[in-house]
C-alpha cells in the first residue's frame, strides 16, 4: 500500500491579495501538474475566495487554518465547516499549537473541531506536539498521545491527516532531526489507521526536507515560513514527490 504524500503550506496570518496572487502563480508554474506528491495551501479566511478561484481545476488543493466546533448559530466571529466546504476547501488545520497556546484551545475543543470538520466533509489536518520543557522531561509520547487520544475518544480518524509539530521547532529555525521526528511518527502511527498520512512540521525547508522525508514514517510536511517563498515550498514538494514510500 502506498500512503499519500502531502506537502501543505500553512500561511498563518500572512498575505494580501497581490502577494497571494504572485505566490499562487509561482506555485502553479513550478508545480507543473506533477501529482507524485499532493500539494495544498491553508490560507486566512478572507482569502479563501481568491485562492479557490485561482486553484480550482489545478492540482493544488486549499484549506483553512481553523474551524468552529459549532455547525451554525450565534457565534460571532466564528467560521463553520459548511462555510469552508462552500468555498471549496479540502483541508482544515485543527489543533495547531498556536491555537492551543495563544487562544486556549483545549484537547476537548480540538476534538470537537475535528469532529465538526469531518462531519462537514473536510479533511482535518490534526496537529500534535510537545513543548521543549515536555520533551526535556521525557514526556513527548505522553503529551502527543494525550492530544491524539482526545480526538480518537470521540471520532474515528478516517482519512484525516496527522501532523507532528514539536512546539520548540515551530518558527525557531531549529527543526527536529530526522531521527527525533521518526521516533514520534512511529509512535503516532501505532494509534491511527495504517494508511494515515503523517506530516512533520517545524522549521521544515528546502535544505532539511529530503532528510526528514526519507524517514519511513514521515509522509510529507506542514510548512509555515517556507511556504511563503515559492521556490522553498516547491523544493520541499519535489523532495516529497521524489521519495516513494511503500509499506
Ligand atoms: P514553520 O515552518 O514556520 O516553523 O511553522 C511550522 C508550522 O507551524 C506549520 O503549521
Measured between alpha carbons, how far is 182 from 159 in angstroms, rounded to an integer?
A: 21
Cell, residue 108: 476537548
Q: What is the pLDDT of residues 162-200, one digit of tens each?
A: 999 999 999 999 999 999 999 999 999 999 999 999 999
Predicted TM-score (pTM) of the model is 0.96
247 pLDDT band, cuts 50/70/90, is very low
Q: What is the mean pLDDT of residues 13-18?
A: 98
Give the DSSP per-residue string, 150-167: HHHTTS--TT-EEEE--G
Spatial CB neighbours of 43, under 8 Å, sequence gap ≥ 6: 11, 15, 20, 51, 62, 63, 64, 65
Q: What is the mean pLDDT of the chain?
A: 95
Active site annotation includes 53: no
CA dihedral 70, 74, 77, 83 (to 10 degrees): 50
- In the reported structure, the alpha carbon of residue 143 is separated from the centroid of ligand 1 by a whole-number distance in angstroms of 19
Q: What is the pLDDT of residues 63-101, one digit of tens each?
A: 999 999 999 999 999 999 999 999 999 999 999 999 999
- In the reported structure, the alpha carbon of residue 73 is separated from the centroid of ligand 1 by a whole-number distance in angstroms of 32
Catalytic residue among 130, 165, 185, 232: 165
Distances (CA, A) of 70 to 91, 97, 154, 215: 17, 20, 15, 37
Query: Which atom from ligand 1 is nearest to the alpha carbon of 175?
Result: 4
233 pLDDT band, cuts 50/70/90, is very high
Q: Using alpha carbons, select from 132, 135, 114 the residue that is nearest to residue 123.
A: 114
Query: Which atom from ligand 1 is nearest to the alpha carbon of 170?
Result: 4
- In the reported structure, the alpha carbon of residue 21 is separated from the centroid of ligand 1 by a whole-number distance in angstroms of 21
Does residue 8 have a pLDDT over 70?
A: yes
22 pLDDT band, cuts 50/70/90, is very high
Pocket of ligand 1 from Cβ distances under 6 Å: 10, 96, 165, 170-171, 201-204, 222-226
Measured between alpha carbons, how far is 86 from 17 in angstroms, rounded to an integer?
A: 20
Residue nearest ligand 1's atom 2 by CA: 224
Q: What is the pLDDT of residues 104-138, one digit of tens each?
A: 999 999 999 999 999 999 999 999 999 999 999 99
- Structural contact between residues 198 and 218, judged by C-beta atoms closer than 8 angstroms: yes
Active site annotation includes 165: yes
1 pLDDT band, cuts 50/70/90, is low
Does residue 145 have a pLDDT over 70?
A: yes
Q: What is the pLDDT of residues 211-220, one digit of tens each?
A: 999 999 999 9
Q: What is the mean pLDDT of residues 209-230?
A: 97
Bridge partner list, 6? 38, 220
Amino acid at each position: 500500500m502506498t500512503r499519500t504524500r502531502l506537502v501543505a503550506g500553512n500561511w498563518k496570518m500572512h498575505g494580501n491579495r497581490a502577494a497571494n496572487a504572485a505566490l499562487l502563480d509561482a506555485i502553479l508554474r513550478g508545480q507543473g501538474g506533477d501529482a507524485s506528491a499532493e500539494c495544498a495551501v491553508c490560507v486566512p479566511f478572507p482569502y479563501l475566495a481568491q485562492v479557490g478561484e485561482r486553484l480550482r481545476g489545478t492540482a493544488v488543493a486549499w484549506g483553512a487554518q481553523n474551524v468552529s466546533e459549532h455547525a451554525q448559530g450565534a457565534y460571532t466571529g466564528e467560521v463553520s465547516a459548511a462555510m469552508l466546504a462552500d468555498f471549496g476547501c479540502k483541508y482544515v488545520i485543527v489543533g495547531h499549537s498556536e491555537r492551543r497556546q495563544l487562544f486556549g484551545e483545549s484537547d476537548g475543543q480540538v476534538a470537537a473541531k475535528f469532529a465538526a470538520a469531518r462531519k462537514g466533509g473536510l479533511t482535518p489536518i490534526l496537529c500534535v506536539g510537545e513543548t521543549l520543557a515536555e520533551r526535556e522531561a521525557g514526556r513527548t509520547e505522553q503529551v502527543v498521545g494525550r492530544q491524539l487520544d482526545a480526538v480518537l475518544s470521540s471520532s474515528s480518524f478516517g482519512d484525516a491527516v496527522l501532523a507532528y509539530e514539536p512546539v520548540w521547532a515551530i518558527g525557531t529555525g531549529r527543526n527536529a532531526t530526522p531521527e527525533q521526528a521518526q521516533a514520534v511518527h512511529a509512535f503516532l502511527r501505532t494509534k491511527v489507521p495504517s494508511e494515515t498520512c503523517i506530516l512533520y512540521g517545524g522549521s521544515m525547508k528546502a535544505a532539511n526536507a529530503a532528510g526528514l522525508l526519507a524517514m519511513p514514517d514521515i509522509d510529507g510536511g506542514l510548512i509555515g515560513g517556507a511556504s511563503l517563498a515559492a521556490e522553498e515550498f516547491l523544493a520541499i514538494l519535489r523532495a516529497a514527490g521524489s521519495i516513494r514510500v511503500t509499506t
